[in-house]
Structure 1
Amino acid sequence: MSNTSHATRPTLFVTGAAAGIGRAVAEHFLRAGWFVGLYDVDEAGLQTLQQAWGAEQCITARLDVTSVNDWVMALAAFEQRTAGRLDVLFNNAGVAVTGPFEEAQLVRHHRLIDINLKGLVSGCHLAFPLLKRTPGSRVINMCSASALYGQPELGSYSATKAAVRSLTEALDIEWRRHCIRVVDVLPLFVNTAMVTDEVSRMKTVSTLGVRLGPQDVADAVWRLANTPPSRLAVHNLVGWQTKLFATLSKLSPGFMNRLVTARMAGY
């Protein structure tokens, strides 16, 4: 298929696309006829997706979001396939470190920051030229309910998500002059491998349960991708628990938010 054949098709670029939320989002858009760029460090997972959907529907490549060179090459190949069109950048790639802060190796905290925050900053910065050239484009950042109040035993993860929340706010203001909207999604615990293998050891998970699946987030991302820019909210809460906690955090005094957070975490 020629490059120009994609010029009239909406396009999506997804990081962390091989599994979990990223995969659910990618397949939701693929079913709707979008051309999707699928990027992850899990090359086997990407190959499975490309075999299922075909090269006419998607492009795949290994992308370590901490590597600027990986970003540059992935975006260049995507631009070539889409005739320079990028409607939605979904910054989804992320990892978690759980447990007492001081017990996790420092290198793990640093790696988390590199992936969750610096990788997202790189994506926004390097994708900007494509977004600027695409009318009505938008960035959707994967945030978290942990950005509402720092979570014990999830401190560095919460910190990166709070930073993502702030960056989203700032860029949405800055980039409106370029007709680019920047928004985020904030779910609570989602039934993914990251939660099952890492986050589920937290007492907060057993207290609240895991009540969201990847498709719940995919549905939210789909709505944000198709809502008129003027009607988009910057922060988008996913699930009734997240909405309840967000409301309570606004209404309750700071000491109460701290107390509730500590009790749920067993402190």
Structure 2
Amino acid sequence: MSQVVLITGGSSGIGKAVGIYLKEQGFTVYGTSRNPARFDATFPIKLVSLDVTDSKSILACVAEILKIEGRLDVLVNNAGVGITGPIEETPTSEISKAFATNVYGPIEMINAVLPAMREQKSGTIINISSIAGYMGLPYRGVYSATKGALELLTEAYRMEVKQFGIRMTNVAPGDFATNIAAGRYHAPVIEDSPYKQAYGDTLKMMDAHVDAGEDPLAMAKVIYAIIKSDSPKIHYKVGAHLQKFSIVLKRLLPDKMYERILMKHYKL
């Protein structure tokens, strides 16, 4: 019997790439979209309706898959939103939306699948965070905070659910060539803002990094290896060598020295 996989945000980007790859490896794969009707029958994986900011939608999505398949073996918490801007000028409502999607949504998805996995005495939950979650990045502070929170939640959850035979891990990607920049909330570059020049320049740099990012297939292969592993690690980092090395530097260097390196990188 093939394992049943649910990937949130599986209609594009990393989620779609992971879904296609796992399907090719023989898994039964379900992706999600807020509006699956937008996609026709030629879409490469099955899509179910899901809004990770809506508790009823989360419960209905999981119930639908359990009704069809009778089990759920793997959850990939991939749905997320980007957000940029000076923290001072970012509306609190947009900060709340980012936390609702990137933190509270994954928590509710995990809680929705745990009863079935506990009954099965098995299951794998993979949370997609970001290398940005390991450091407070200028003009990406809110995004860094949401992904850092998911990293720590994964550590705690993992210890709590291990007794039920459920494995949990975290995968932190760097920049990948996806459409995340198009869907990201950008606090506007305000004409008379004291941040205008620095934020505007940083915004251009961030978009260029995404456009020149890695192939999402690399993420798919790591997630496949995690599912097949007998003992997944707690944290995985996937991306360009320099991005992964930045986490090592943060651990080794004095805080102010690391801050100077970041500021030099962002030309601040």
TM-score above 0.5: yes
Q: Shift in Å at residue 135 of structure 1?
A: 4.4
CA displacement, residues 129-158 of structure 1 (integer Å, 9 cap, x when unaligned)? 122233441110011001111111111111
Q: Which one-letter code corresponds to 2:223 in the other structure?
A: V
CA displacement, residues 227-250 of structure 1 (integer Å, 9 cap, x when unaligned)? 11x2x1110010223321122122
Distance 1:52 1:197, change over 3 A: closer
Aligned residue in 2 for 1:14: 7
Q: Shift in Å at residue 210 of structure 1?
A: 3.4
**Structure 2 matches for 1:232-251, cutoff 5 A?**
232-239=232-239, 240-251=241-252
Contact preservation (8 Å) 1:204, 1:264: no
Give the total of aligned pairs.
251
- Provide the TM-score with structure 1 as the length reference: 0.86
Contact preservation (8 Å) 1:14, 1:38: yes
Q: Shift in Å at residue 207 of structure 1?
A: 7.3
Q: Which one-letter code corresponds to 1:113 in the other structure?
A: F
Q: Shift in Å at residue 215 of structure 1?
A: 1.2
Aligned residue in 2 for 1:81: 68
CA displacement, residues 191-248 of structure 1 (integer Å, 9 cap, x when unaligned)? 11113564882535657983312211111111111111x2x11100102233211221
CA displacement, residues 61-104 of structure 1 (integer Å, 9 cap, x when unaligned)? 22110101001111111001111x21110000000111222333
Aligned residue in 2 for 1:214: 216
**1:51 pairs with 2:42:** yes
**Structure 2 matches for 1:106-185, cutoff 5 A?**
106-185=92-171
- Aligned mates of 2:148, 2:250 — CA distance in 1: 15
Q: Which one-letter code corresponds to 1:69 in the other structure?
A: K
- Aligned mates of 1:129, 1:136 — CA distance in 2: 11
Alignment RMSD (CA, Å): 2.1
- Aligned mates of 2:35, 2:141 — CA distance in 1: 26
Q: Shift in Å at residue 115 of structure 1?
A: 0.5
- Aligned mates of 2:209, 2:65 — CA distance in 1: 43
**1:71 pairs with 2:58:** yes
Contact preservation (8 Å) 1:143, 1:165: yes
Q: What residue ranges of structure 1 are gaps of 5+ in the alignment?
A: 1-7
Distance 1:33 1:51, change over 3 A: same
Contact preservation (8 Å) 1:189, 1:195: no
Q: Which one-letter code corresponds to 1:11 in the other structure?
A: V
- Provide the TM-score with structure 2 as the length reference: 0.86
